[in-house]
Chain A
């Protein structure tokens, strides 16, 4: 992104307020620009430096010198002439833009911020804010930058880091200010869950529930803790309570359906999964589980559900799974040719999506 910003910057011209340049300085400035055009950056730098010696009050000369260093990738050397140019002409936005980027590139993020802020260089500003521990501001500015360049990989990368950092900072604050609040226990539960410490996670969620039994989502998360620990009956209880509290929550219905499915309660599972599919249609995971729930009792309906997953997912691992399941359904339905085709597709997509085995022969 730095490169990109540099190119943008080079299109701009500083608003100089300096007195007229001596003729020797003008000659050197022109020869520097000519050298630059010929990609002779060292020659350009030499000419700009000599011009700067002859015209120490010219912000243009110092700007061109800094700019040449930037083009050479020597950000550290660019900073002094750019700083001097900014002192000579504090309102020259291109100078601040280049200086902010040079400072950021050399690790002086805090110093870069006012310059980047002045020129509304949101992407670089967000990165600088992330590096100075201001994730909330970073998220806002990176999102603004992304609105103009939605696919910029650097911006996407830094936004994800800023988001994580913001979450972490918020959690730290939550733990320090309200550790025994329902949300505090919930957050601790989430942390234990991520660490696969399921008994500890369950305990935290239970404490949160004791304090705020009405908090939406708590039972859903607690159920997921039990599910991860293969305690399906207890998971079912929690998902059931969540689904009762939030009958419009498609995820609660899906999770409940999954818990029922794992326990072999196929009919009840199919009911919940159908309900989830109505609440939030065309969720591939829901349709896949629905297909599994229906495979024995209604293979035609299962066939339809798996086919829909394939339609939605195309060539993802879930599509491969759906083909495998569909092959089973077709075998049951006495359609061996279709089953063979499904297996062919399963193998094809699996080959596309599976990482190679370290010992594959």
Chain B
């Protein structure tokens, strides 16, 4: 093996001792997951629904899977909403000083339980004027410790990881507070300079004063079209702990929408990471990275802006990975009920075509609204499956449409060579699902999911595992950014784009997981953002490996 490769085979043997299971909701033998709350995680996502139907109430909240202390165990960070009074009276406060409304960081212990370390980590009290939304994780200063960026209605917060179990709010110095209503965010390196930049989606021009309710007899949340659209924000990392807002010169700010989700991938293989933004009842945005610091929005002309019937999507969550193993990243966008989730297949040559019907996704959706979403190989057969958190936007939807329901169960669909077939997720408890973060929480080689639901505790979908093989890769950039975000990694023909972004409001395990089916070895082909091409042959399956960027002298 090349010297750059450091294998950590059999890193952890927590499978037998993992002890997070409590209050299991279902134990069907064919279920892919065991679903439970996590021991020690007492967080409740408090969105504070009111009769005034303030739009922010129905939108939170995110979840991140990260190893903040580099002990090899996935920790969990969850974003809380805040107190919304009924009615809100000026001066407005979401009471985020109250511990009930704090965001929370839970450190995973060796026995699989969790300990709340929020206060000692310096993450308590997210600011009374901030109503929490989402989270992005990335090592923006390449110091080896993941930093946390929290989006809010209000001001966003960048927490620098000090490497000693604590974080420091560096928002002001970094210049990334944004403002308005931020939703999803993600770190990526758009100019391949080895430093992670930051993209923030913003939803719409809303304030307590501008809030409206829709529906006369049964007031409910207004659709996004009732509020002016806004632009998203791109921050360029200067490398000195500060960021520059380059939204205008990059061309990002020229496009206004109702942004919710964001995901990154190099869809056209030109070596530069592109951006896909889901918009709610506006055209979706695909920002093509021109490689010179600017972006061109090309969703409509590339076929990724509208449904195949030319209708706008209520775009919410998004995943941007290759589901049909043709080497090109595809898109799935979740939306409201009676609007099937849309799969935009990457046809090559910069073109996408809706394939929700051909892929089977259309037939599996339509009755439910979708939020957090991920293309992950849950059964390790070498094909990425799909998991979607589902629920309606309106908490009173049943009162005016008996065919719909507010709370719902997640959708799990297994990928049979490009065609999705519904599978038993293991959960039959309907929830007001929102965020979903994907990762291997117990380091057993099988992908898990941690989800958020309004008014509820996070749930762990712990993969029950199986006999097929797998490989999980941690990238260590040298010339590229330290996490290798933006790398194209091919393993036995399957491709993943290195990123923690995607889903809805959430941040995923940054490690790259591959199901290998019956294969016991893997050939790995990596194209780093720096342009370096690295190949590893016959790597043994069923291990966690760390691959350092091979920088030739």
Contacts and interface: CB of A to CB of B under 8 A. Distances in A.
Interface in B356-370: 357-360, 362-363, 365-367
A96 interface: no
Counting contact residues on chain A (CB < 8 A from B), the size range is 35 or more
Please indicate which of the listed interface residues B229, B349, B403 has the most CB atoms of chain A within 10 Å of its own CB: B403
A230 B358 contact: no
Contacts, number: 88
A196 interface: yes
Contacts of A17: none
B165 interface: no
Interface string A251-292: 000000000011110100000000000000000000000001
Interface in B303-344: 303, 306, 308-310, 337-338, 340
B310 A200 contact: no
Given A264-B359, A324-B306, A325-B308, A358 B225 contact: yes
Given A331-B347, A331-B349, A263 B357 contact: yes
- Range, interface on chain B: 35 or more
Contacts of B419: 264
B108 to A, nearest CB: 39
A262 B229 CA distance: 32
Contacts of B403: 196-199, 228-229
A264 B337 CA distance: 19
A295 interface: yes
Contacts of B355: 296
Contacts of A317: 310
Interface string B342-354: 0000010101011
A197 B403 CA distance: 6
Interface string B395-430: 000000111000000000000000100000000000
Contacts of B309: 321, 324
Contact of A264 (B303, B306, B362): B362
Contact of B300 (A263, A325, A343): A343
A332 B353 CA distance: 9
A266 B357 contact: yes
Contacts of B362: 262-264
Nearest to B368: A230
B527 interface: no
A196 B399 CA distance: 12
B523 interface: no
B225 A359 contact: yes
Contacts of A350: 310
Interface in B213-231: 225-229
A200 to B, nearest CB: 7
Interface string B181-202: 0000000000000000000000
B339 to A, nearest CB: 9
B111 interface: no
Interface of A is mostly: helix
Contacts of B366: 230, 232
Contacts of A332: 347, 351, 353
A358 B358 contact: no
A327 interface: yes
Nearest to A332: B347
Interface in A306-339: 317, 320-321, 324-325, 327-328, 331-332, 334
A340 interface: yes
Contacts of B172: none
A69 interface: no
Interface in A341-361: 343, 346-347, 350, 357-359, 361
Interface string A289-303: 000100110000000
A224 B271 CA distance: 48
B71 interface: no
Which one of A199, A296, A324, A346 has the greatest number of beta carbons of chain B within 10 Å?
A324
A340 B380 CA distance: 41
Contact of B367 (A196, A229, A321): A229
A262 B226 contact: no
A196 B306 contact: no
A233 interface: yes
Interface string A179-210: 00000000000000000111110000000000
Nearest to A192: B402
B310 A320 contact: yes
A233 B422 CA distance: 13
Given A230-B367, A328-B353, A350-B310, 7 more contacts: A229-B403, A263-B357, A332-B351, A334-B349, A358-B225, A358-B226, A359-B229
13 contacts: A230-B337, A230-B366, A230-B367, A262-B362, A264-B419, A292-B308, A317-B310, A321-B310, A324-B306, A324-B310, A331-B303, A343-B300, A359-B228
